[in-house]
């Protein structure tokens, strides 16, 4: 039995909508970058780069690039002495996402780390753990059987815990030395980030992992998350940061 799991028009339209939103947000962030003094510009540039990479990745996926099939072979055993059969599933993998995430999630972490004033060693550990999380997630997406797939997934989750430890726990301790406004803002935006980021591995598990939801649902779920994690996160960070006096990173 051979079975194909692909996106329909609904999925493709969703990809185009996100592509346009990422493009427009990028223009807004570059525009905002010009209007702030140079010492405050690091956050604007980082945030604009994040949506620029997302725009490019969504352009790829909407036009049919950065996608191919993963083939999974399962043995189905039958009762009553019938011979076992092979169930072959070809499901679309949108690998352009992983290229996007491998670049943009470290930049998002850098936004948070610079806001908190995290030390260089912690920033480096968080970024390397993040790259490991995304690359092992990419290998998981191409797993040929359950053992391989969920094995890679486990390494990705361990790397994610390292990130949370460095940025959330370390960031809170560091930001405690800053003014009250920065402290409260870091708590809010880091909390928002980690709740949101934790939904990604859940969606992954239901879609690419266990094939419980179809490819269209996967596209829509990631679309909502990506809009919240990039443009919404970005506008919130930049508007708040512009209104604060003393959060310039030491760069
Ligand atoms: C994967 C699967 C393997 C296990 C884990 C994952 C985590 C992914 C995350 C992605 C965040 C993406 C963001 C994109 C921005 O638009 C790779 C899904 C833990 C946390 C914030």
DSSP secondary structure letters along the chain: -EEEE---HHHHHHHHHHHHHHHHHHHHHHHHHHHS-GGGHHHHHHHHHHHHHHHHHHHHHHTT-S-EEEEEEEEEP-STTPPPEEEEEEEEE-THHHHHHHHHHHHHHHHHHHHHT--HHHHHHHHHHHHHHHHHHHHHHT-SSHHHHHHHHHHHHHHHHHHIIIIIIHHHHHHTTS-HHHHHHHHHHHHHHHHHHHHHHHHHIIIIIT--S-HHHHHHHHHHHHHIIIIIHHHHHHHHHHT-SS-----
Question: Is residue 170 within 8 Å of 118, Cβ to Cβ?
Answer: yes
Task: Encode the chain (251 residues) as per-residue pLDDT tens digits.
Answer: 899 999 999 999 999 999 999 999 999 999 999 999 998 899 999 999 999 999 999 999 999 999 999 998 888 888 788 888 888 999 999 999 999 999 999 999 999 999 999 999 999 999 999 999 999 999 999 999 999 999 999 999 999 999 999 999 999 999 999 999 999 999 999 999 999 999 999 999 999 999 999 999 999 999 999 999 999 999 999 999 988 865 555 44
Residues 6+ apart with CB under 8 A from 88: 1, 2, 3, 71, 72, 73, 74
Q: Which atom of ligand 1 is nearest to the CA of 225?
A: 16
Q: Which residue's alpha carbon is nearest to atom 7 within ligand 1?
A: 201
Cα of 197 from ligand 1 centre, angstroms: 6
pLDDT value at position 246?
A: 58
Question: Could you tell me how many residues make up the chain?
Answer: 251
**Ligand 1 and 229: CB distance under 6 A:** yes
CA of 95 to the centre of ligand 1 (A): 13
Q: How far is the CA of 146 from the centre of ligand 1 (A)?
A: 19
pLDDT at 248: 56
Q: What is the ipTM of this complex?
A: 0.98
CA 81 from chain center: how many Å?
47
């Amino acid at each position: 039995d051979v079975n194909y799991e692909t996106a329909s028009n609904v999925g493709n339209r969703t990809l185009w909508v996100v592509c346009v939103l990422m493009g427009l947000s990028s223009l807004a962030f570059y525009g905002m970058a010009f209007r702030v003094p140079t010492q405050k510009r690091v956050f604007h540039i980082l945030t604009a780069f994040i949506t620029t990479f997302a725009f490019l990745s969504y352009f790829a996926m909407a036009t049919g690039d950065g996608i191919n099939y993963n083939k999974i072979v399962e043995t189905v055993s039958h009762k009553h002495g019938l011979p076992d059969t092979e169930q072959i599933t070809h499901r679309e993998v949108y690998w352009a996402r992983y290229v996007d995430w491998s670049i943009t999630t470290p930049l998002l972490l850098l936004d948070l780390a610079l806001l908190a004033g995290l030390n260089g060693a912690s920033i480096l550990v968080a970024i390397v753990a993040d790259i490991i999380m995304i690359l092992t997630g990419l290998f998981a997406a191409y797993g040929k059987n359950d053992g391989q797939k969920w094995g890679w997934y486990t390494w990705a989750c361990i790397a994610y815990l390292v990130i949370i430890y460095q940025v959330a726990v370390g960031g809170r301790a560091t930001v405690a030395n800053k003014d009250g406004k920065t402290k409260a803002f870091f708590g809010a935006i880091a909390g928002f980030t980690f709740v949101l980021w934790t939904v990604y591995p859940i969606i992954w598990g239901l879609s690419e992992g266990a094939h419980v939801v179809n490819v269209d649902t996967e596209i829509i779920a990631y679309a909502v998350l990506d809009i919240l994690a990039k443009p919404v996160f970005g506008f919130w960070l930049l508007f708040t940061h512009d209104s604060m006096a003393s959060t310039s990173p030491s760069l």
